[in-house]
């Protein structure tokens, strides 16, 4: 049976969450909406329609969602040539590949955005596949993206670990029956990730890489590593 290392991308392998916050803030501002950046940050990781419902309410006119999404995409697209990968993200993926894990990206990004993110991570040689918004009917926190990622890796739920940085990631993995690991690199507090289902929480990819032998990726796992603070 194959073992699957499933990874969210934004905020997990690439330092892009706050770029998304700024682009959503500007798109909303241009449309006449005043939304606090803190609230936008907490919604990052949701599909566009769900993000707007969370920020603007279900009683909004959803007819404006496409225009808001397009404005965000246009603004975010200006960063495609310089999206920053997180420190040691590529090294982490390569270390897992050497240990026999099939690495699959589980992201809502697609098309040119996904291509830009993969370039930023710079580890295509060890990425088995990527499941994107084009492959699912429901995005996170629905379990479908994680289940789809398992299919790409041809792995069972009990042979997989999912790594993400948002509560939506943790909820999606938990609902899919997959062990989940949280990273603080996306800016979400440890408590929130643990409450949403994270078995272990690390500061960033470099921290997880350093503690790999004591993480849910260890086989068999070693004793728990000392907890780090945010």
Q: Is the pLDDT at 45 greater than 90, yes or no?
A: yes
Average pLDDT over residues 77-85: 98
Write down the mean pLDDT value for the chain: 94
Q: Is the pLDDT at 224 greater than 80, yes or no?
A: no
Is CATH 1.10.150 correct for 17-78?
yes
State the pLDDT at residue 88.
98
Average pLDDT over residues 73-81: 98
Residue 139 CB contacts under 8 Å (≥ 6 apart), including other chains = 46, 47, 50, 108, 133, 145
Which is more confident, 223 or 168?
168
State the pLDDT at residue 1.
77
Rounded distance, CA 22 to CA 161, Å?
31
State the pLDDT at residue 219.
67
Domain chopping of the chain, boundaries? 2-15+84-214, 17-78
Q: Is the pLDDT at 174 greater than 70, yes or no?
A: yes
Residue 54 φ/ψ region, left for φ over 0, alpha for ψ in the -120 to 50 degree band, beta for the rest: alpha
User: What CATH number is given for 2-15+84-214 in this structure?
Assistant: 3.40.50.1000
């Amino acid at each position: 049976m194959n073992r699957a290392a499933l990874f969210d991308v934004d905020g997990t392998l690439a330092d892009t969450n706050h770029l998304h916050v700024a682009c959503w803030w500007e798109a909303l501002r241009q449309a006449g909406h005043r939304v606090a950046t803190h609230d936008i940050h907490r919604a990052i990781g949701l599909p566009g329609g769900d993000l707007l419902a969370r920020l603007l309410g279900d009683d909004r006119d959803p007819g404006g969602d496409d225009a808001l999404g397009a404005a965000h995409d246009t603004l975010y697209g200006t960063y495609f040539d310089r999206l920053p990968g997180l420190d040691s993200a590529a090294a982490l993926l390569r270390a897992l590949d050497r240990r026999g894990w099939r690495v699959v990206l589980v992201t809502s990004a697609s098309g040119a955005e996904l291509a830009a993110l993969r370039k930023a991570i710079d580890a295509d040689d060890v990425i088995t596949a990527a499941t994107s918004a084009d492959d699912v009917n429901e995005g996170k926190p629905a379990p479908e993206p994680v289940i789809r990622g398992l299919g790409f890796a041809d792995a069972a739920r009990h042979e997989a670990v999912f790594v993400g940085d948002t509560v939506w990631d943790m909820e999606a993995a938990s609902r899919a029956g997959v062990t989940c690991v949280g990273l603080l690199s996306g800016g979400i507090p440890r408590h929130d990730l643990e409450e949403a289902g994270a078995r272990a929480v690390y500061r960033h990819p470099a921290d997880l890489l350093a503690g790999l032998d004591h993480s849910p990726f260890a086989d068999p796992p070693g004793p728990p590593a000392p907890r780090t603070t945010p």
